[in-house]
């Protein structure tokens, strides 16, 4: 395992430990309404601080792009951090949330780690080295038919209402052409579940780079496909994502073509 992956795993585990220490006293947490992801809690901030402290222990010169504190520094290496993906789930005691940490070099994703502290599962990947779940190699499923596929999605947040009409039409199209749709509330875990073959495809609109970066690399290293709705690699910029096994990805991309932004 690459040294930067080891650092990311350590940082993610420390953040996860903070989450689990607070999970039985959710009613006492300080919570602020922040709009897009609805809420930010003191746990988000504590987890992010812990992650950044671990990274800077080893690489103080590297830059940071984090959900709560934004961009810090300039360097060819950038750590892209979502300290608590699924905050709304977490605050309601719904056990689907994760830590997501990616490393890019000169704009290219190099490493990714997603940690589920509730299940204590670590998904990881390094570019060209494959993807792992708890150090065991994973691959996307062998599903080739959309009508037999289980597909994950994320609903547009209230501040992303401009996506709602398109999303509803996409949802109708998928429901009419697949075996089932699942919405769990953590894009990072949804992407990893595609990589691990637990679902066969995924789509969502209006995401942020920290929601996507680690999971995107993990999917690609597991043999899957991911792009925006135009079929480009600009999903970290556009926030619009379609992913899946090669065949399911292709079928979803075709299905969503009428809804791609002009």
Q: What is the pLDDT of residue 13?
A: 98
Interval 189-207: pLDDT, tens: 999 999 999 999 999 999 9
245: left (phi over 0), alpha (psi -120 to 50) or beta: beta
Q: What is the pLDDT of residue 159?
A: 53
Q: What is the pLDDT of residue 165?
A: 83
Structure-block tokens of residue 164: 């709602």
- The beta strands (E) that lie in the chain are given as 31-35, 38-41, 63-66, 70-72, 77-85, 98-105, 108-116, 121-126, 131-133, 136-138, 150-153, 180-182, 201-204, 225-227, 241-244
Torsion of CA 54, 60, 63, 65, to 10 degrees: 20
The closest alpha carbon to 31, from 19, 18, 40, belongs to: 40
Q: What is the pLDDT of residue 259?
A: 81
**Is 211 buried (19+), middle (13-18) or exposed (0-12) by CB count in 10 A?**
buried
Spans of all domains in the chain: 3-138, 146-257
What fold characterizes domain 146-257? D-Maltodextrin-Binding Protein; domain 2 (3.40.190)
Domain 3-138 sits in which CATH superfamily? Fructose-1,6-Bisphosphatase, subunit A, domain 1 (3.30.540.10)
Interval 200-245: pLDDT, tens: 999 999 999 999 999 999 999 999 999 998 899 999 999 999 999 9
Torsion of CA 230, 233, 239, 242, to 10 degrees: 60
Are 17 and 54 contacting, i.e. CB atoms less than 8 angstroms apart? Answer: no
The closest alpha carbon to 101, from 114, 117, 89, belongs to: 114
Are 19 and 97 contacting, i.e. CB atoms less than 8 angstroms apart? Answer: yes
What is the H or E stretch that residue 250 is in? helix 246-256
Q: Is the pLDDT of residue 36 over 70?
A: no
Interval 110-164: pLDDT, tens: 999 999 999 999 999 999 999 999 999 999 999 999 999 999 999 876 555 677 8
Mean pLDDT of the chain: 91
């Amino acid at each position: 395992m690459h040294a930067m992956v080891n650092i990311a795993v350590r940082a993610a585990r420390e953040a996860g430990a903070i989450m689990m220490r607070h999970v039985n006293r959710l009613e006492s947490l300080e919570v602020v309404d922040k709009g897009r992801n609805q809420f930010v809690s003191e746990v988000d901030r504590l987890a992010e601080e812990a992650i950044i402290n671990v990274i800077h222990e080893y690489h103080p010169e590297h830059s940071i792009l984090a959900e709560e504190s934004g961009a810090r520094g300039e360097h060819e290496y950038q750590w892209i951090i979502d300290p608590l993906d699924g905050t709304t789930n977490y605050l309601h005691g719904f056990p689907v949330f994760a830590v997501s940490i990616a490393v890019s070099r000169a704009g290219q994703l190099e490493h990714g780690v997603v940690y589920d502290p509730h299940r204590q599962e670590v998904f990881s990947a390094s570019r060209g080295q494959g993807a792992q779940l708890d150090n065991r190699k994973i691959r996307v499923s062998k599903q080739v038919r959309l009508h037999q596929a289980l597909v994950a999605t994320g609903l547009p947040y209230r501040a992303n209402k401009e996506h709602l009409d398109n999303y509803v039409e996409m949802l109708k199209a998928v429901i009419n052409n697949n075996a089932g749709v699942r919405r769990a509330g953590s894009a990072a875990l949804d992407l990893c579940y595609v990589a691990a073959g637990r679902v066969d495809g995924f789509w969502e609109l209006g995401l942020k780079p920290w929601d996507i970066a680690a999971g995107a690399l993990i999917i690609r290293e597991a043999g899957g496909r991911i792009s925006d709705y135009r079929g480009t690699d600009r999903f970290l910029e556009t926030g619009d994502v379609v992913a899946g096994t090669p065949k399911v990805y292709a079928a979803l991309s075709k299905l969503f073509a009428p809804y791609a932004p002009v």
